[in-house]
Every structure is written in C-alpha cells, then in structure tokens.
Amino acid sequence: MGVNLATSIEYEFVAQPAGLQPEFAAPPDANLQFLSTKAIDGFRVDAALAQPASKLADNSTLVVSVHGSGQSYDTHPNACLLRLLPSKSIAVLAINTRQAGARVNTENFFDVRRDLEAAIYTARALGYQKIVLHGHSLGNIHVQYYAANNWDVDIKAVILTGMFANLPWKSRHLLVQSEEDFQRLREAARQSLREGKQAELLPIGMRRTGTESEPVSGQHFLTYRAEQSSTADGTYWIRRIPFPILMIRDDGDLFIQHFEPHMLLAAAKAPGSLVPSIKYIPLPNHKGPNAGGHSFRDNQQPLADAVADWLREHGL
C-alpha cells in the first residue's frame, strides 16, 4: 500500500505586497523578503522575513513575531523589530495571523496556533535552529498558548510586549463595562454555537478599546472573552511555559494597565511554575500615557535594544 499525504504546510517567496503601512521600512544592511505560507488547514499566512546580511540561518537566532488585534506585520512594534533587530544580527519573521486587519474579532482562538505552527515550520525549513517567539498585545496570548503546549528544543525563549494578563476578566470588567451587555453578548454567542453559526458576526457588537461597539463573531467571544469558555488567560498559560521569558511594557501604554505585567510575573514565579527565568522591563515614556504608547511609537530603539540585550544574555 502506498503512502498518501493528507495535508501539509507550504511556503513560497512572493513579491512585496501593495498597500503596506507608511510606518513599514526596510531594514538597513539586511535581506528583506516576503512569504506566503499555507497553514495545515489551508489558511494563507502572509509574512515578512528580515535576515542579517552577514549571518547564515543556521548560525542566527530568528524571532517569530505575532501582532495584536486587527494589526499586521507592517505595524509597530512588529514593524520596528523587523527593521531594527537584523542590524543586531537577529533575524525576524513577522507574520499576519487570521485575525489581521478586517478579520479582527472574528477568529477562533484555537485556530491561530496553526498560523504560528506554519511560521515555525517555515523557519525550520529555512535552516533556523534557534527560534524565539514574540507576541504583542493579543499576539502575546497566542504565543503563550503555543509555547505552553509545544516544548520543541529549537524554541529557546519567549518575548511578550504590550501584554494583558487575563483577557476574559479584562473584557468583562474593564472593556465592556456593562454586565447587561456582557450577558447579552454571551447568550448571543452561545446561541450562534448551538445553531452552527459561530463564525458569523453577532447581531450585537462588543466594546473593546474605544467607546464604540465593534463587530464580533460568536466563536471569538466564546474563545477569548467569556470566562467560562475562554482560554485567553495569560495567568494560566504563562506558568506552563518551560522557556525564559522577557516582558516589556511602554509606560505610555493606555491599554495595558500597570498591574497586568505584575499579575503575569506572580503567576510565572508561583510554586510549581515551569518558567526557568522571567524579566520585566518597563520603558519610560517622556510623554506619559498617550495613544502611541501601546505600539512603542516613542520607544522603538529602546525596545529593540532591550530585546537584543536580553537575547544576548541568554546566548542568543
């Protein structure tokens, strides 16, 4: 009997896509390429790869970088790391997950792991043997979940930026801020699941970071926001990560409260935690709390320096 292929992860190099954000800039003294990767379920993962011109893949550290809610690899801070880290001999593979852009608030949390998986297997195919996972904002919980459930020997460390602690708790009490609205959302999401329409947008929106409600699907609400069914709780996953962890928050961040990194620190240092070491770096912001703080707009070089210095401390 022959061997049949059920599915696979594929990648190809493609031309630079049109419509990149104005803030996206090519790194100096580095090779910048664009890729299209097919995840195991067939979803297309777009990515940008910046490699130091002076180092081969098998002798380099590669950071796989995951963006926040509705963002993309060409927005900060992922874009600034893509531009600045190669000059420090660190390669970056920044990806767009299935919640990028217009797909925000629509995806199932559990499906995003396939996007990371596709990126990591692509990195291996390119010859990288030292992989670091970076997640920003919503991407922080995607990276935590992946690292807690995949103890691969070539994954060497985890970096979290603009990281919340417990998203279902935060969504209910700090974002939606209405018990009545939250209960209506939860019931509508459960109804969509019972009817097999969980991938469709709910008839009511969800308040997230602004004052207006945003469209949201039933599967997103149930897997990210509802406390009874969500797994987007970093205080649960972080203690199950067996790799060194770096956390960085811009002091100007309006969206991540100052206490949230400390909740993650406490969980990572709790008795029985698998985390071998963890470091938290708050970056001062001379503007104070401001709209650009969450994306490290005023702290791009300090962010890249902090990441590179920490990786160097760990032999990466």
Find the mean pLDDT for residues 150-156. 98
Please enumerate in sequence order all residues whose Cβ is within 8 A of that of 120, keeping only pairs 6 or more positions apart, or say none.
64, 131, 152, 155
Whole-number pLDDT of residue 1: 63
End-to-end CA distance of the chain: give it in Å, rounded.
45
Q: Residues 171-177: contacts with CB within 8 Å, 24+ apart?
A: 171/206, 171/208, 171/224, 171/225, 172/225, 172/227, 174/257, 175/206, 175/207, 175/208, 175/209, 176/206, 176/207, 177/207
For residue 24, what pLDDT band results from cuts at 50, 70 and 90?
very high
Domain boundaries, the chain: 10-165+235-313, 169-225
Closest among 206, 230, 255, 242 to 68, alpha carbons compared = 255
Name residue 115's amino acid.
D
For residue 6, what pLDDT band results from cuts at 50, 70 and 90?
low
Q: What is the DSSP letter of 233?
A: B
pLDDT in tens, 64-99: 999 999 999 999 999 999 999 999 999 999 999 999
Q: Decide if 157 contacts 132 (C-beta within 8 A).
A: yes
pLDDT in tens, 167-217: 999 999 999 999 999 999 999 999 999 999 999 999 999 987 767 899 999
Residue 309 has pLDDT above 70, yes or no: yes
The burial of 315, by beta-carbon neighbours within 10 Å (0-12 exposed, 13-18 middle, 19 or more buried), is given as: exposed
Residue 30 has pLDDT above 70, yes or no: yes
The span from the CA of 8 to the CA of 6, in Å, is 7
The span from the CA of 158 to the CA of 245, in Å, is 5
Q: Decide if 35 contacts 90 (C-beta within 8 A).
A: no
SS3 239: helix
CA 162: distance to chain centroid?
Answer: 10
Q: Which CATH number fits domain 10-165+235-313: 1.20.1600.10, 3.60.21.10, 3.40.50.1820, 3.40.220.10?
A: 3.40.50.1820
pLDDT in tens, 204-252: 999 877 678 999 999 999 999 999 999 999 999 999 999 999 999 999 9
Which tokens in the block code for residue 15? 């031309």
